[in-house]
Amino acid sequence: MPEGDTVFRAARMLDAALAGGTVTRFDLRVPQLATMDLTGETVHSVVPRGKHLLARIGSWTLHSHLKMEGEWHLYRPGERWRAPAFRARAIVATTDAEAVGFDLAELALVPTDRESELVGYLGPDPLSDAWNLDEAARRVGADSRAIHVAVLDQRNVAGFGNVYANEMLFVRGIHPETPGTDVDARGVLEVGTRMIRANRDRVERTFTGVDRRGERMWVYGRERRPCRRCGTPILSGSLGADPTRERNVFWCPRCQT
């Protein structure tokens, strides 16, 4: 599931392959952008911003969001793609590499000096060099909605998704419905920051510290299974800012009070 750590790895991979190169093929397969062509421009960098990926090419920024299904692949020139062509939404190639974005939920191209129009609303990003824990804690701690919802609001803090929200709250012993104003927001975000920074370099995320299949999660996806700390069956439900944005939540009724 793409969250901030997934986007961070994708940006790092694309930046290493494309930055400094000259675009030899540029193809955006969405109607509103199909006529745009940056062939001949230089790829300056590819950077993450929360769950958003920004490829700076010439004086333009190509913005993409993976949502649930999107992914970027990297190929050698002429190499066969590992996904069907009809799923490709963006192709950026240089002499040495070809990057293909499949099933991208959002795609935009704007002048780089207007990049903030796309991502300026985001809160502090724990994987950014400009990470501001105090500001993120202020935003989350001022949110009177359920803490699970407050953590997922990218305006409060950028990069955490549903898996992280569930695991962070378990480790801190906080019920997901507790109002953000009643929670030690700084403590929650400190845990989340340690988790996401540790996982950004791993092939498989682990929150328990055990890197074995079926043992990497404390509560996420473990409904009715025994809590790893106390043995109480894990409960599940759903929470969201509105009915269209509800997410599955998991918690231990004994450890998270």
Residue tagged active-site, from 49, 51, 56, 200: 51
Tell me, yes or no, if 247 is annotated catalytic.
yes
Tokens representing residue 80 in the block = 């066969």
| Under 8 Å between Cβ of 236 and 246 | no
84 is catalytic: no
Q: Name the active-site residue from 56, 172, 216, 247.
A: 247
Catalytic residue among 2, 48, 126, 176: 2
Rounded to whole angstroms, how far apart are CA atoms 42 and 201?
Answer: 28
- Residues in contact with 74: Cβ distance below 8 Å, sequence separation at least 6, in sequence order: 13, 14, 17, 97, 98, 99, 100
User: Containing H/E element for 71?
Assistant: strand 71-75
**Kind and range of the H or E run holding 169:** helix 162-172
Q: Is 3 a catalytic residue?
A: yes
| Residues labelled catalytic | 2-3, 51, 247
